[in-house]
Amino acid sequence: MGFGQSVEDSGRPAGDGSQKVSLARFQERHYTPAEIAEMWNLSRDVVRRIFEGEPGVLVIGDDGSRSKRRYHTLRIPESVMERVHRKLSNPDLTSARPRGYSSNKSGPPVAVNN
């Protein structure tokens, strides 16, 4: 892939009908876990757990040894942050009703006895 070509959200070269990102991933804004934690009102540890195994996240650091603690620095590209946010967001509430409620077209949901 050449400089400035578009890539899919997954980091592979864009193909037929896939969502395209206008910049190469290395050109995007990269966020720290602390910045995302502040934006999403979560703790840094929760953000680290969410993004640590996510494809496209830069993980810089040493795995350490048996006697040393491992240190990893995470840098999260904007496209990865947006993808994870979409994945974690609630689906359209009109298509998914809470469990224990039946559809009642004439009024509000009616509780079903289980």
- CA distances for 3 relative to 19, 23, 26, 27, 68, angstroms: 18, 9, 10, 10, 39
pLDDT at 97: 56
Residue 107 lies in a domain: no
pLDDT in tens, 24-78: 778 899 999 999 999 999 999 999 999 988 999 999 887 766 776 677 899 999 9
Residue 102 lies in a domain: no
Residue 11 lies in a domain: no
Residue 73 lies in a domain: yes
Print the domain residue range for 38: 24-86
Residue 40 lies in a domain: yes
Total-model pTM: 0.56
Residue 4 has pLDDT above 90, yes or no: no
Residue 36 lies in a domain: yes
Is the CA virtual torsion 5, 8, 12, 13 positive or negative? negative
